[in-house]
Amino acid sequence: MRMTFVFLLAAALLAGCDNKNQDTDPSAAKQGTADAQGHTGELVRILHTLEKTDEQCQGDGCPKVNLAWITFENQPTLNEAITTQLAGMLVQNQGSTPHDGTIESLVDAFLADASDMAMASKQGWELNATIKRQTRRGDLLTLRMDSYEYTGGAHGQPGVQYFHWDLARQQKLTLADLLEPGKKQAFWELARHQHQQWLDKEELDQAFRDSWPFDPTDNVYFGKSGLVLHYNVYHIAPYAMGQPELTIPYEKLDGIVRGKYLNP
């Protein structure tokens, strides 16, 4: 099938800078330098976009893909990890069409599957993904990765993933890496307590609690008042309740979250 697309990967657009803290700091060091605490300086963001659809399809219901993600100047290891993460998000959404694992081939596979389906032009198949900066705490960079897939039915499937990267160590981190050794159980006790408070606040009955029990998640980010556990749809609540979040206050995490991430 013939397709038309805009793919701005080689000729990326400058999107802005990330300073070493969450808020803008005009005195922050430039990329590649470090401050008195050893933190890496500014990160210069680059925006990439990919928009693709089936040229043979006409009308508002045509299958389409829209991607927007960032990489960073002078951060090849991080950029490779971001691209791998994006491809992984797309793999979850591709169907039976063969692909080579690259972002563009995964997009082609999704569109090919959409075009092969009967009445695809009326179903309005859609695949969207964005990767953007969430927070920066010292050398800990957190990206938010949103995805949305619609392949017919009553509604689409949204999803959010959080990606943590230690700029000093040049490696991806999991929740376990953010915690002090031996503190996993203590962390989940705090999380269960926050979940109970959420149930009480929402005034959810026992039938709901039995049907949607607490479940751990590695999907976390550092918010304004604490470490936030983000749950996607159907994890601890039905689709209609969206994507619940549980926040563990920072003052309760002292000695549980590693100090260099808790107090950068």
Strand duo 3-18 + 171-173: pairing: unpaired
Pairwise CA distance, residues 133 & 141, whole Å? 8
Mark whether 104 and 152 lie in a shared domain: yes
Q: Are residues 128 and 223 in the same domain?
A: no
| pLDDT tens-digit series, residues 103-144 | 988 898 888 888 777 555 567 889 999 999 999 999 999 999
**Do residues 248 and 124 share a domain?**
no
Per-residue pLDDT reduced to its tens digit, 59-110: 777 889 999 999 999 999 999 999 999 998 887 654 555 566 789 888 988 8
Q: What angle do CA 251, 262, 193 make, to 5 degrees?
A: 45
Query: 200 pLDDT exceeds 70?
Result: yes
If one counts the domains in the chain, the total is: 2
Q: Give the pLDDT score at 27.
A: 28
Domain holding 135, by residue range, is: 3-173
CATH number of the domain at 255, please. Answer: 3.90.640.20
Q: Are 219 and 162 in contact (CB under 8 A)?
A: yes
- Mean pLDDT, the chain, whole residue set: 84
Q: Mean pLDDT lowest for which of 26-35, 76-85, 188-197?
A: 26-35
For residues 154 and 235, membership in a common domain is answered with: no
Same domain, 164 and 180: no
The residue out of 150, 173, 196 marking a domain boundary is 173
Q: What is the pTM of this model?
A: 0.83
Alpha carbons within 13 angstroms on the beta-carbon side of residue 58 total: 0
CATH of residue 17: 3.30.565.40
For 133-199, give the DSSP string: EEEEETTEEEEEEEEEEE-SSS--EEEEEEEEEETTTTEEE-HHHHBPTT-HHHHHHHHHHHHHHHH
Residues 119 and 203 in one domain: no
Decide which of 157, 173, 189 is a domain's last residue: 173
Let me know whether 180 and 144 are in one domain: no
Task: Choose among 111, 107, 137: nearest CA to 124.
Answer: 111
14 and 30 part of one domain: yes
**Run of H or E including 91:** helix 76-91
pLDDT for residue 56: 77
Residues 25 and 38 in one domain: yes
CA–CA separation, 211 and 237 (whole Å): 9
Round to whole Å and give the CA distance between 238 and 120: 28
Q: Are 129 and 103 in contact (CB under 8 A)?
A: no
- Are residues 80 and 169 located together in one domain of the fold? yes
pLDDT for the residue numbered 111: 86
Among the three residues 173, 199, 229, which one is the final residue of a domain in this structure?
Answer: 173
Domain co-membership, 150 together with 194: no
Quick one: 161 and 31 in the same domain?
Answer: yes
